[in-house]
Structure 1
Amino acid sequence: MKEPTLFPKTNRIFEDFQKLGNKAAHELYSTKNLGKHLNETFGDEYILYIENQISFDGCPLSIYQKNYNDNFKKYLSVYPDADEFDFLKDELLKIQSLHWNWKLAFPYYDYLDIDPHRKNLDLSNEKKLEFILKKVDALGHYTCAPNGIDDFDFFTSERGDQQWLLELNRNEQIQRIPDVQTNEKRLRITEISKTSFKWTHNLNQDSTAINVLHSELLQNGFINSDLRVFKKAFEAVKITEQVKWTSDPVNLIYFYHLLFENNLIDGKGKKKDWKKLKYCFDYPSINEAQNLSQILNGSQTLHKKVFFENLINSILPE
């Protein structure tokens, strides 16, 4: 019999126990001893996979995020007409199925200790659910409330089984476009029915400011995009390539906040447009509004805060 790809030792213990039959099994193991042996083995394999950053059902969110792009590419190789929304929809169904029946991945689930093993699996699954819903929102699509529940918002409503019944609904105003070839990798971008930010000054006359921003961000390791791509993010146009943000996304959030508050981009007096930021910049999904609030009230330290403030001050009109 072929061994399972993941957790082979734990699976083998459980399969051997099942093959023995009830009488023989209880002579060899007491239920307590089986549980102890199985849990120790599962724990060892779980830690091994985390140390080696191997993805598995119920893995920590950080590993899931690290493997997200590769898994998306594999999905596209199987379903060439699909897009990221299709991928996220299938990912959501997968983690919802696991929530209702962890035995789909771990047939010995009933023998696992509640703390820490089952708790770890549940926590990671819920973190993935949040990640997927934020991705869907950033792409401009919708989350549908469970049947019979009106106006359910995952991020503000009281949690319960409702979150595991959510469905995704495609925004039909968002069109699919072909993949774009870049020098480094295949980049798949969804064309959103909006445009990039609008620089409040004449870009041709104010090109020095844009050049300074691009140069400083590039040299200090915050972006990895050329000037052409960076400039498009502020020309109020539809874009086909995002600015690659290579630093912690909280830095980008504060940078955008300063552009917004200093009236360098259109939007003064309006709400910040986080979806437009996600449209123009490629960065890991986080709760933008919450992180910015924590930075502004001092509960979150931003080590590059002074750098961005000095950078923006250096380009402000006199």
Structure 2
Amino acid sequence: MLLGLQVPSFTWPDAPAATGPTFKRIAVEAEQAGVASLWVMDHFFQISMVGPAEDDMLEGWSALAFAAAATERIKLGTMVTGVTYRHPGVLIKTATTLDVLSGGRAYFGIGAAWNEEEHLGLGVPYPPLKERFERLTETLQLAHQMWKDDDSPFQGTHYQLQRPLNHPQSVSRPHPPILVGGTGEKKTLRLVGQYADACNIFEMDLPGITHKLEVLQSHAADVGRDYAAIEKTTLGTLALSKDGADGTQTVQQAVDRFGRLAEIGIDHALVNMPAVAVPGTFDLVAEVAAQIAPIVPAGR
């Protein structure tokens, strides 16, 4: 089983001058601790669930490129890019560039977008939900086409590309893993089953996660996809301490928690950590990562 780290906040001491060194240290220490993946949100304003809009927020793909240069093994992804933020041809080129320069370490995390505030604030068009899902579908189709080195014209309802050329091609073969974020059962999980290599489910109660996975399995079966080939990830919060006081977990409690997720088929537990910028945080993370590494998720 794998452990991944999401960094959703950049409001750290001595920012912005110290933001770069702090983020670099987090990426390097996470990799050294055995964390398998590093994720940032693709937002332009901080989201309300984390803090006020005015809090520091870095552009996701630039932040990942910076982290790529400081690391060697850790996978890198957005959790997740809103389909409305960038023209899909340019977005796929951006993801390919990260994959090439990182030596094949990019994920392509994408979703239908939801934060209306930052769209309005920055003048980004915010179409109705139905159209956003249509655009997401076309972007996923285009990603598969461009990563097959097929530059024939793409004629969608919302996007028309005369020559979707993508050179160099990605280092990851056949392409960077596509992760579609979200748990909507009728649309989002259907798109995972049809087009994606990974899903991401909020770390809710185990029966809730199990139900979402069963829905995904049904969608995959409908289109003849191998459900086992889809990476199952969750997103939660992890606060570690030696004694488990004040709402934290001990290493053993965290290992037990992730072991229960593996038992229902989760391959990759992604977490954000409130103390991620505090020096020494990754000492205990390394113990968790080492202990869950031998766990084989159900279905593997």
Q: Shorter-chain TM-score: which interval?
A: under 0.3
Q: Whose strand proportion is higher, 1 or 2?
A: 2
Q: Name the TM-score, length of structure 2 as normaliser.
A: 0.27
Q: Which has the higher contact order (CA 8 A, sep 6+)?
A: 2
Q: Whose helix proportion is higher, 1 or 2?
A: 1
Q: Name the TM-score, length of structure 1 as normaliser.
A: 0.26
